[in-house]
C-alpha cells in the first residue's frame, strides 16, 4: 500500500532528480528527512519506480543504475533493507556499504576495483545515513570517493536524524550541494510523541 504523503514526497524527489539531470553538477545529494515510521522507505520506492520509468521512456544510451546501501553492520537490519526493496529487484541492487568501504580503504586494487566499478553512475540510496556521516564515517568516505570519480551521481541520504548533514548544509561546510525533502506524517500517524502521550505507558516516576 502506498500512502498519499509518500506520493507527495516522492514527486518532490523526482523533481530534484530532473533538476540534477538538467544541470552541470556531477554529484547531487538529496537529504530525505522524516520522522520515525513516517513512510521514508515507501517514499523512496515510489520515487525510484517513477524515475526508472522515466529513464526507460527516454531510451538513453547512458549507463544508469540504482543502488541501495545499508550502513549498519547488524545482520537483521541488513536483511530488513533487502526485504524492503525485494519487490524492486528488477531495478535496484542492495549492497552493504561495508563492502564498498573496505574496497575504498584498500585503494581499489585488484578485486576491490571490481567492487567499486559495480557503481557506475545513477542513483545511490543510503539508508540510515547519519550513521556514517563525518570525517571517519563510511558514508563520508563513499561520498568523497564518488565526488572524485568520473561518473554522475544522485545520492539520497535517508534517515530520521540526519543532523550532521543538515548542519553541514546550514553552515556551508559541505563539499557538495545538498537539497532537502521532508516527508510529512500522513493521516493517523502515531509516532513516539503520540505513544508517550497515550495511556499505554506507565510513568513510574509519577507520584
What is the structure's pLDDT at 142? 82
Give the DSSP letter of residue 185.
P
Do 100 and 119 form a contact (C-beta atoms < 8 A)? yes
Residues whose CB is less than 8 angstroms from the CB of residue 113 and which lie 6 or more positions away in sequence, other chains included: 103
139, 71 Cβ separation under 8 angstroms: yes
Do the bridges between strand 122-127 and strand 153-159 make them parallel or antiparallel, or are there none, so unpaired? Answer: parallel
- Predicted local confidence at residue 123, as pLDDT: 92
Cα distance between residue 160 and residue 40, in whole Å: 9
**pLDDT at position 175, please?**
56
What pLDDT is recorded for position 94? Answer: 84
Q: Spell out where 25-176 has E strands.
A: 27-34, 65-70, 92-96, 122-127, 153-159
Write down the pLDDT at residue 130.
64
Query: Over its length of 207 residues, how does the chain's per-residue pLDDT go in tens digits?
Result: 888 899 999 999 999 999 998 888 888 889 888 877 788 889 999 999 999 888 866 655 555 688 888 777 777 777 888 888 889 888 888 888 777 878 777 765 555 666 666 676 789 998 877 655 656 677 778 887 887 877 888 999 887 776 565 555 544 555 567 788 988 877 766 666 766 677 776 767 765
pLDDT of 2 reads: 86
d(CA 196, CA 179): 32
Amino acid at each position: 500500500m502506498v500512502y498519499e504523503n509518500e506520493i507527495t514526497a516522492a514527486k518532490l524527489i523526482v523533481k530534484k532528480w530532473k533538476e540534477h539531470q538538467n544541470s552541470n553538477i556531477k554529484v547531487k545529494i538529496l537529504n530525505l528527512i522524516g520522522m520515525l515510521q513516517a513512510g521514508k522507505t515507501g517514499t523512496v520506492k515510489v520515487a525510484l519506480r517513477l524515475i526508472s520509468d522515466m529513464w526507460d521512456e527516454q531510451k538513453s544510451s547512458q549507463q544508469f543504475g540504482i543502488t541501495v546501501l545499508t550502513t549498519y553492520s547488524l545482520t537483521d537490519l541488513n536483511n530488513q533493507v533487502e526485504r524492503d526493496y525485494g519487490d524492486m529487484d528488477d531495478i535496484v541492487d542492495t549492497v552493504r556499504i561495508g563492502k564498498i568501504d573496505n574496497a575504498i580503504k584498500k585503494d581499489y586494487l585488484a578485486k576491490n576495483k571490481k567492487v567499486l566499478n559495480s557503481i557506475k553512475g545513477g542513483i545511490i540510496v543510503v539508508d540510515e545515513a547519519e550513521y556514517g556521516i563525518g570525517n571517519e564515517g563510511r558514508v563520508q568516505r563513499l561520498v568523497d570517493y564518488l565526488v572524485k570519480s568520473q561518473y554522475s551521481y544522485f545520492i539520497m541520504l535517508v534517515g530520521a536524524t540526519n543532523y550532521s548533514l543538515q548542519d553541514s548544509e546550514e553552515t556551508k561546510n559541505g563539499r557538495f550541494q545538498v537539497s532537502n525533502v521532508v516527508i510529512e506524517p500522513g493521516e493517523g500517524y502515531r509516532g513516539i510523541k503520540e505513544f508517550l502521550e497515550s495511556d499505554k505507558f506507565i510513568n513510574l516516576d509519577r507520584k
